[in-house]
Homo-oligomer: A and B are copies of this chain.
Amino acid sequence: MMDEFEIYLRAHTHLNDGDLDRIRSLATTKGLRRNEFLLREGEICRHKIFVIKGLLRTFGTAADGSEHILQFSPEHSWTLDVESYDRQIPARSNIAAVENSQVLLWPKADFESLLADIPQLKSLAQQLIARNIYNSRQRLLTALSATPEEKYHEFTQSFPDFLARLPLHMIAAYLGISLKTLTRIRQAQLRR
């Protein structure tokens, strides 16, 4: 059950078995059905989340009810609503499963004690934060400057494996374009 996580941790850190056991021991496993929510807007994000298997999406909803996807979280990635988790305030985004998935959950207090006690884990966490910041910058720049076609192209280059796992309307919601525009782009590319 947890072995996927162990593989991940061993690949990304140098931890002794004791620390690894302690990290594992504080997590609970949870299965999610397709479309099941892990966090809803307005709730407080109380856990650090690691995706063992499957695919999650983090999305906000606009005034008109439309969904806009901030992030996809596939197996071997971490997720949460940062601001809600940090400050324990109501979340402004939702997290839900795209596919049937399996996640590990650590209550915030537990994870913080792990971070305080295990420098290698802390260092991993900081790397992840840094990467997150770089990615956000790049994504923002793309959102500001790219045409729909360029956005789609960048997406296919960055996440080739997601193409087959996501319905197109979610890709559109991630790129900030309409489904119609996305299918038009794809049709145009087929004809070439």
Question: What residues of chain A have their CB less than 8 Å away from a CB belonging to chain B?
Answer: 60, 62, 66, 68-70, 82-83, 86, 92-93, 129-130, 132-134, 136-141, 143-146, 173, 176
Interchain CB contact under 8 A, B86 and A145: no
Majority DSSP secondary structure for residues of A touching B: helix
Report the minimal beta-carbon distance from A27 to chain B, rounded to whole angstroms: 24
In the assembly, what is the distance between CA of A86 and CA of B133, in Å?
A: 11
Shortest C-beta distance, A115 to chain B (Å), equals 12
Nearest CB on B from A126, distance (A): 10
Which residues of the other chain, B, contact A93 by a CB distance below 8 angstroms? 137, 141
Q: Which 9 A-B pairs have the closest CB atoms?
A: A144-B176, A143-B143, A62-B145, A68-B144, A136-B136, A68-B145, A83-B134, A60-B141, A82-B133
- The reply to whether B70 and A141 form a contact with Cβ atoms under 8 Å apart is yes
Q: Let me know if B82 and A137 touch, CB within 8 A.
A: yes
Known: A70-B137, A139-B140. 15 other contacts (CB 8 A): A60-B145, A62-B145, A62-B146, A68-B141, A68-B145, A69-B144, A70-B144, A82-B133, A83-B133, A86-B130, A129-B129, A132-B133, A136-B140, A140-B140, A143-B143
A176 to B140, CA, bound (A): 10
Question: What are the residues of chain B within 8 A of A129 when measuring CB–CB?
Answer: 129, 133
A147 to chain B, nearest CB (A): 10
